[in-house]
Amino acid sequence: MKIALACDHGGLKLKGEVINYLKEHGYGYEDFGTCTAESCDYPDYALPAAEAVASGKCDRGIVICSTGIGVSIVANKVPGVRCAHCHDTYCAEFTRLHNDANVLAMGEKVVGTGYALKIVEKFLTTEFEGGRHQRRIDKITAIEKKYCK
């Protein structure tokens, strides 16, 4: 599985910890930046990561800023992306089970590093249940088609 990663300056430290986790657990990844602590604009990094997931270049994505909110808004503007802003393992598990979320958003200032890595683990190891949930995903896709012309 290949993971698209992105952050702004507010998520740089946590992104580094996520990279270490991915390496330790044998995941491939592509880092879309930022790579410095200099102030920057999160859309410049979250957008290409989300596009990589939507295009199939990457299987899933993880985007990080101070709160996780800004990067999740950006990622969800990309048709085909279902980005979930998670701050606990329960949400990470159920967004995969029920929503087939393909991008995880987190906030470095919201969740501690150790727990953030448990959220990442749940997000990456939980598979979509399908079944009745697929009907709902199909409705989301229809909404995208209606408004993203």
Question: How many other C-beta atoms lie within 10 A of the C-beta of residue 130?
Answer: 12
**pLDDT score at 149:** 72
Q: For position 91, what pLDDT does the model report? A: 98
Run means of pLDDT, 10 residues per run, the chain, 149 residues: 97 98 98 95 98 98 98 97 98 98 98 97 97 95 89
Catalytic pick among 7, 65, 86, 91: 65
pLDDT given for residue 14 in this prediction: 98
81's tokens: 């992306």
Tell me if residue 9 is catalytic. no
pTM, to two decimals: 0.96
Choosing from 40, 87, 98, 133, the catalytic residue is 98
pLDDT in the model for residue 103:
98
Q: So what's the pLDDT on residue 148?
A: 82
- And the tokens for 112? 């501690």
Contacts of residues 123-130 at CB distance under 8 Å and 24 or more positions apart, as own/partner, are 123/60, 123/62, 123/86, 123/92, 123/93, 123/95, 123/96, 124/1, 124/3, 124/25, 124/27, 124/60, 126/92, 126/93, 126/96, 126/97, 127/96, 127/97, 128/96, 128/97, 128/100, 129/97, 129/98
**Adjacent-strand bridge partners of 31:** 5
Active site residue 25: no
How many other C-beta atoms can be found within 10 angstroms of the C-beta atom of residue 67?
18
